[in-house]
């Protein structure tokens, strides 16, 4: 479903993604793990036509996103790491706009918006402006929106960022459910190892722009001789903090993460 | 087509939802109209130049449309900031439809603002006049509507081009000071563009808004009262505005299609 060959992205002197190659099968849940600044978001941006790769090849459902842009865009949905909702419109209008941009026929659109908003417990608030929503509600709306046009591939870039444990748990239950019911291929990134362990069929660990290991959770543990995915991750990426090329937000997140881990 | 419509609709919804904003953005042009219109009126009349309210009304209508349309395009900066831009960038529709929808929406909103300002002017005592001075000419209003729409389109498209390019508030401030204000002051909105000297005249001829104001003033008050009103002519003004609209629309489409985030 996704095929990536020798993908590279450089920003000036700095190489954010170094010659990575991997494949994701249809219906698979694939997790991309890596320390801050590893290049996960940059990879997703290249996969989703937002950044032009410096080198390498991408196939999404058989389409090269830079050649068959529209076909490629139609086949995926994406939840970005940063918010991407229109705060000045209501939840329903955000869904409706998405449905129209993705050519979802009117009847299907109405049905599916209702179904998804109910699933993510936003139906009661559908007529409220999104700017009045809490962070968690916004996140749920973005994920519901990502599913609206029944994408073949769903990209989730840290979808649980800022969610409470209940919401995180519920979110993965829904994602897993939709993955099974609609056979959606899911490509996700997260910093919570337990989430990756729970939902992902296969995991790739990225560090300094390169993929350092790829396999099932069990395979990664076996390979590193560790008993948890967290320890396998640390064994693969080392326990030093990353700071090259980082901006202040990155630094702050890293700082927060450091304290959580101790 | 759906994409153009939904992006156009979005601009209209934002407009009608911020009623306070509608009033506030009419405040500044109204201030110009009243303060300058009544303040400079006597001086203007003494100089034998006629009624200054009549002269400045088309100017402040053009000003309203200029600011409203150019800001609608630059509002893309906010969409970039709040992230909504990305949602439209990955949508499976040609980006040209997205940007056209936005621009048309911005132009529609600016035209509505211009029409509201026209009403404010009428309330303040402004009257559309015939070319030969034979009484009031209410048929001038539809013709004024055409110019309002053209000015709105030109600057909404220019705003969209700028919005596709600048990424931060500094850029926005710079453009405000070095582009938008000069466009306004050199347009002839506040003073006649006659006898300005060769260099300044030449510069005013490069100001797209000058053609819009000229056309607006031409159709609204004719040329009988002020010999300097009708500097260019109806068809020339319209053609230049149409050509500029086409150029700016093309530019915005090109710039928008190249955005990477
Ligand atoms: N537009 C850009 N210009 C320059 N450098 C960039 C740009 N975008 C990303 N980078 C750099 O590329 C590297 C990878 O960034 P990326 O956002 O892909 O990391 P990530 O793996 O998603 O990290 P995180 O877990 O913090 O989200 C970082 O060092 C970042 O500073
Ligand atoms: Mg990231």
All structural domains of chain B with their residue ranges = 2-257
Res A252: pLDDT: 56
Which residues of chain B does A89 touch, with a Cβ-Cβ cutoff of 8 Å? 10, 13
Residue with tokens 């030093």, as numbered in its chain? A240
Contact flag B6-A45 (C-beta cutoff 8 Å): no
Atom number of ligand 1 nearest to Cα A45: 18
Q: Which residues contact A170 (CB under 8 A, 6 or more apart)?
A: none
Res A261: pLDDT: 41
Q: Which residues contact B50 (CB under 8 A, 6 or more apart)?
A: B44, B225, B226
Q: Give the integer Cα–Cα distance in Å for A2 and A44.
A: 11
B113: confidence class by pLDDT, cuts 50, 70, 90: very high
Res B229: pLDDT: 47
Chain A CB within 8 Å of residue B205 CB: no
Q: Give the integer Cα–Cα distance in Å for A4 and A1.
A: 10
Q: What is the number of alpha carbons within 13 Å of residue B157 lying toward its C-beta?
A: 23
Chain B residue with the nearest C-alpha to that of A104: B2
CATH of A2-75+152-160+180-261 among 2.40.50.140, 1.10.150.20, 3.40.50.300, 3.40.1710.10? 3.40.50.300
Q: Give the integer Cα–Cα distance in Å for B62 and B215.
A: 10
Res A191: pLDDT: 93
B175: confidence class by pLDDT, cuts 50, 70, 90: confident
pTM: 0.89
Would the pLDDT of B176 be above 90? Answer: no
Of B6, B13, B82, the CB nearest to A101: B6
Residue with CA nearest ligand 1 atom 30: A37
CB atoms within 10 A of CB B112: 18
B131: confidence class by pLDDT, cuts 50, 70, 90: low
B55: confidence class by pLDDT, cuts 50, 70, 90: confident
Res B227: pLDDT: 40
Per-residue buried b or exposed e for B190-215, using 16+ beta carbons within 10 Å of the residue's own CB: bbebeeeeeeeeeebeebbbbbbbbb
Ligand nearest to the backbone CA of A50:
1
Consecutive 10-residue runs of chain A (262 residues): their mean pLDDT? Answer: 94 93 95 93 95 94 89 93 94 97 96 94 95 92 93 94 87 91 93 92 94 92 88 83 56 53 38
A40 lines ligand 1 (CB under 6 A): yes
CB atoms within 10 A of CB A49: 21
Would the pLDDT of B111 be above 70? Answer: yes
Q: What does the pLDDT average to over B138-165?
A: 93
More confident residue, B223 or A111: A111
Res B222: pLDDT: 74
B228: confidence class by pLDDT, cuts 50, 70, 90: very low
Chain B CB within 8 Å of residue A85 CB: yes
Average pLDDT, chain B: 88
Q: Which of A9, A11, A190, A191 to mutate to test the pocket of ligand 1 (most atoms within 8 A of CB)?
A: A11
Instruction: Give the distance from CA A175 to its chain's centroid.
Output: 11
Delimit the domains of chain A by residue range: 2-75+152-160+180-261, 83-150
Q: What does the pLDDT average to over B115-139?
A: 83
- The residues pairing with A2 across neighbouring beta strands, listed in sequence order, are A24, A60
pLDDT digits over B62-91, tens only? 999 999 999 988 889 889 988 999 999 999
Burial (CB < 10 A; 0-12, 13-18, 19+), residue A149, is buried
What's the Cα-to-Cα distance from A223 to each of A30, A199, A226, B38, rounded to whole Å?
Answer: 19, 20, 8, 85
Question: Which segments within chain B are labelled E, that is strand?
Answer: none
Nearest Cα neighbor of B103 from B145, B170, B164, B173 is B164
CB atoms within 10 A of CB A14: 10
Contact flag B92-A49 (C-beta cutoff 8 Å): no
């Amino acid at each position: 479903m996704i095929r990536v060959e020798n993908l590279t992205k450089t920003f000036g002197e700095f190489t954010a993604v170094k010659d990575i190659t991997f494949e994701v099968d249809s219906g698979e849940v694939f997790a991309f793990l890596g320390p801050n600044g590893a290049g996960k978001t940059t990879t997703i941006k290249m996969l989703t036509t937002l950044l032009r790769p410096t080198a390498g090849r991408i196939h999404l459902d058989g389409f090269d996103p830079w050649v068959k842009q529209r076909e490629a865009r139609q086949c995926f949905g994406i939840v970005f790491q940063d918010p991407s909702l229109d705060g000045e419109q209501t939840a329903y209008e955000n869904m409706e706009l998405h449905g129209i941009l993705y050519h979802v026929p009117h009847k299907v659109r109405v049905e599916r918006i209702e179904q998804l908003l109910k699933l993510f417990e936003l139906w009661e608030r559908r007529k409220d402006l999104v700017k009045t929503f809490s962070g968690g509600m916004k996140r749920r709306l973005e994920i519901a929106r990502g599913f609206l046009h029944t994408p073949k591939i769903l990209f989730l870039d840290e979808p649980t960022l800022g969610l409470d444990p209940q919401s995180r748990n519920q979110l993965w239950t829904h994602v897993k459910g939709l993955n099974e019911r609609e056979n959606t291929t899911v490509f996700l990134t997260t910093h919570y190892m337990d989430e990756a362990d729970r939902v992902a069929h296969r995991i790739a660990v990225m560090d300094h722009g390169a993929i350092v290991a790829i396999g099932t959770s069990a395979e990664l543990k076996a390979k590193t001789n560790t008993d948890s995915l967290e320890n396998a991750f640390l064994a693969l990426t080392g326990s030093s903090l990353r700071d090259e090329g980082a901006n202040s937000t990155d630094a702050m997140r890293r700082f927060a993460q450091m304290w959580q881990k101790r | 087509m759906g994409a153009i419509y939904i992006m156009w609709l979005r601009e209209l919804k934002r407009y009608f939802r911020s009623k306070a904003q509608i009033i506030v953005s009419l405040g500044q042009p109204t201030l110009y109209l009243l303060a300058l219109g009544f303040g400079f009126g006597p001086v203007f009349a003494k100089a034998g130049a006629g009624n200054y309210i009549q002269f400045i009304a088309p100017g402040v209508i053009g000003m309203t449309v200029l600011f409203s349309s150019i800001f609608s395009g630059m509002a893309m900066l906010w969409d970039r900031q709040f992230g909504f831009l990305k949602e439209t960038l990955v949508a499976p529709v040609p980006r040209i439809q997205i940007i056209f929808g936005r621009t048309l929406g911005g132009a529609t909103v600016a035209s509505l603002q211009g029409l509201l300002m026209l009403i404010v002017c009428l309330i303040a005592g402004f009257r559309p006049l015939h070319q030969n001075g034979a009484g009031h000419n209410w048929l001038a209003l539809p013709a004024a509507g055409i110019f309002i729409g053209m000015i709105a389109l030109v600057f909404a498209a220019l705003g969209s081009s700028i919005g596709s390019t600048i990424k931060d508030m500094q850029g926005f401030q710079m453009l405000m000071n070095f582009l938008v204000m000069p466009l306004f002051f050199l347009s002839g909105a506040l003073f006649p563009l006659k006898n300005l000297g060769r260099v300044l005249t030449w510069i005013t001829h490069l100001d797209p808004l000058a053609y819009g104001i000229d056309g607006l003033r031409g159709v609204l008050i004719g040329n009988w009262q002020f010999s300097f009103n009708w500097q260019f002519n109806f068809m020339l003004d319209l053609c230049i505005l149409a050509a500029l609209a086409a150029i700016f629309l093309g530019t915005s489409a090109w710039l928008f299609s190249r955005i990477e985030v």
